[in-house]
Structure 1
């Protein structure tokens, strides 16, 4: 998913909402040069208004994360809406800013008290 493209965000949300029995999710973050997102827009943060619990989701893996706001908002959205989540693994595209990324990820609220956030070195 290109987290800079709101059309891809909406398509991803549609797929997720259409998959209530999803247990595992693996995504590849595709950072693109073109920034199609207007500054200040936080689609995933605003998506909390949708009734969108992922009751069966247990494992999430997101690779090639850059650390841009839409990616982080997506992770926050998943953590807040996945009461059965056991493990969320994030693998950044590079080591640049890795510690800051990890610090931010572990601060997010989780719907599951069992949810473990794992940072994997690139």
Structure 2
């Protein structure tokens, strides 16, 4: 279930300011996906650029996989924090229904 279904408020329609916040949230998610894709591609390129099988095996064993996992996790954390901040701001300045919807989104993004 996605957050829009989880935070569905009966007969609620996004206000113009909530639509802007939703677009901003969507952009943050897109950028996070791009960052994760590029981060994941870097070790593949680094490891497999050498066509010698022995060197490839050495490159795999020498790659810092813990640092790679930390980098991937940090992208998720940054996206979640930025999403929480967007929802927090929208809840603070929104109308009554907007506040209720964005408070639910904040809780979903904790």
Is TM > 0.5 for Structure 1 vs Structure 2?
no
TM norm structure 1: 0.25
Q: Which of the two has greater strand per residue? A: 1
Q: Which of the two has greater helix per residue? A: 2
TM norm structure 2: 0.27
Larger Rg: 2
- Between 1 and 2, higher relative CO (CA 8 Å, sep ≥ 6) is seen in 2
